[in-house]
Amino acid sequence: MRPDPAPARPVAGTSQALLTKTRAIVSVKICALIEINPHLRRVPAPAAPRNVVVGASMKTLSACLLAGFAILALPQAASAQQVAMIDGTEVTRVVIAPPKSDLAGIIRTALAEDYNAAPRDTRAWREAQKLYFSYGERGFEPLWLTESPTGAPVFSPTAEAVVAAFRAADRQGLRPSDYLTDAIATPPAGADADALAAFETAFSAAVVRYAQHLHGGRIDPTSVSGYFDLQPRRIDAADVLSRISSGEDPETVFASVEPTHREYRQLKDALARYLDGSMDRQVTIPEGPLLRVGMSDPRVPALRERLSLPAASDTLYDQALSDAVLAFQESLGLQPDGVTGPATVAALNGGTATRKEDILANIERWRWAPGEFGDFHVQVNIPEFRLAIRSGDEVTYETRVVVGTPKNQTPVFSDMIRHLVVNPYWNVPTSIARDEIGPRLISNPGYLASQNMELLYGSQVINASSVNWSATSINTFRIRQRPGAGNALGQIKFLFPNKHDVYLHDTPSKALFSRSFRAYSHGCVRVQDPFAFADALMANEPRISGASLQGMFGPSERWVNPETRIPVHLTYFTLRVDEDGTIRSYGDVYGHNARLIELMGV
């Protein structure tokens, strides 16, 4: 049995008679908290915690009442929830120590109101219950305040530790001013119970806000773009406060709610080096038009400096500079063409030239990511135009991909690969049918036939040439492309059913994979060598391989269902960190990074 924390000195004005009366009232209500009717939906007590004893009898109720009074007779209350055996029935006994000061009473009333107001069995209800139990265990005495030798309210040692964490929030990629607000700058002077309770509430809110920002970020992903389809990771606020109130070191509690991804930790290390001044500052190359041999551009001197070439008196992009760019491209696996485009500029600005703002934005996006990617998973990183399969910490397969254009962006979300489809139909999205195919049918009714497509009304195939397209909307029909060599999805697609109708697939347009910038699709992700990818993807499926899938080639669509669903994550990181800590930078293809930096105010 762990004793309660020592209660704070009662606020002036709390009489012994009032304290005795309060103790008696709470004693009765404690027993009311142990329900005997499993259908009872709300206990009509201010605090309203609920416990169900299935099959309890009147004899059990009497024992419960006696047990409740016995608990309150103890000099120090026990844990807020205890498991006990009554008449052979296991019950959860709720122990709420009575408030011993006006301040504690105010805190109790506020928590009880939150608890009663929350709809039952919701997240808010569960959090309010935990918070009520947590404070009830300590008699609702404040967590963040204590008395100085002169009797003035001052920060408790726990609060001092939390304030130290707030002051160092910039090292977490956060802003100290978001937590060290005027409301908690200093404890209120005097012993006014309302002012002290308001301080306690504001301090707890700051603690929860800080933990939430560490856990799931401080910016709503959808405020950056509607293409971010991510469920915000929510903190268990009551659990955080309960752990701190039980004596756990605040720094340890805060660290435990952060993401555990390796790259997240390494980006935080890079941020620390930046703040400490130990990260070297290399020249940054501004964005601009494509640069080829013979062109002049004001960025050329910066390029020459970045690539350690002798300075020149003009701005000519000469052969020597092109050769240096080509060598740099080859070292990073970029398309080695000696041309400086967006991908090359982004790579040149990586590593020690990385900006603080980019580090902060990518740290924030890691906080939006799922807590676990899965032991075996697929990650498509959109700015990188690459796909990787990971088994544990090892990359087992990696390849180039083509993603959506800035107009038709690939969304950012996570799902599960459930099906592989060989010889797929391509069901043309409504937007493409309306904006691209419909206008062509008006001038050329035979267009669908020329593209190996068919028109469907319900499940019936319709001759497109028989439709009066000047008087009929394309939205009345569905369009799909039959399997074949020219099919837009190629010979295989990898399905993870989602509301965006986005998936991974083959493509007949292989030439695009040779380019450094590869944002050309309508939103789906095209894979360079889909059957090599399929072979690596099916590494844990004994009945499926790249070869077995190729053996299904033909005119009919064939569905293959792996035994195990495979997590797939479509992400947007403009900085990636290698195992050795090397930071690689990629272009902000959709502008999400710039928009997030703007919203973060960094």
Q: Which residues are catalytic?
A: 505, 524
Dihedrals phi, psi of 468, to nearest 5 degrees: -85, 90
266 close to 371: Cβ distance less than 8 angstroms = no
Rounded to whole angstroms, the Cα distance separating 251 from 248 reads 9
Q: Residues with Cβ < 8 Å from 242, sequence gap 6 or more?
A: 130, 131, 133, 134
Rg for the chain, CA atoms, rounded:
32
93 close to 67: Cβ distance less than 8 angstroms = yes
DSSP line for 370-438: -S---SEEEEEEGGGTEEEEEETTEEEEEEEEEEE-SSSPPPBEEEEE-EEEES--EE--HHHIIIIIH
Which among 262, 523, 246 has a CA at the least distance from the CA of 380?
523
The angle subtended at Cα 313 by Cα 309 and Cα 317, nearest 5°, is: 60
Rounded to whole angstroms, the Cα distance separating 433 from 169 reads 50
Rounded to whole angstroms, the Cα distance separating 174 from 170 reads 5
Task: Give the 3-state secondary structure of residue 532.
Answer: helix
Return the bridge partners of 456, or none: 461, 478
Which among 253, 543, 517, 579 has a CA at the least distance from the CA of 384?
517
Rounded to whole angstroms, the Cα distance separating 398 from 412 reads 19
Which residue in the block uniquely carries the two structure tokens 């902000």? 588
Which among 211, 218, 219, 217 has a CA at the least distance from the CA of 255?
211
Dihedrals phi, psi of 387, to nearest 5 degrees: -125, 140
Give alpha helix (H) positions in 407-540: 430-432, 438-443, 447-450, 530-537
577 close to 263: Cβ distance less than 8 angstroms = yes
425 close to 451: Cβ distance less than 8 angstroms = no
519 close to 383: Cβ distance less than 8 angstroms = no
Helices then strands (H, E): number in the chain? 20, 23
Task: Give the 3-state secondary structure of residue 527.
Answer: strand
Q: Which whole-number Å values give the CA distances from 141 to 92, 131, 185, in the listed order?
A: 23, 13, 20
111 close to 128: Cβ distance less than 8 angstroms = yes
Which residue in the block uniquely carries the two structure tokens 């990636």? 576
Rounded to whole angstroms, the Cα distance separating 92 from 86 reads 10
User: For residue 252, with 0-12 CB atoms within 10 Å meaning exposed, 13-18 middle and 19 or more buried, which class applies?
Assistant: exposed
Task: Look up residue 285 and give its two tokens.
Answer: 């190359």
Helices 237-245/193-216 angle, 10° precision: 120
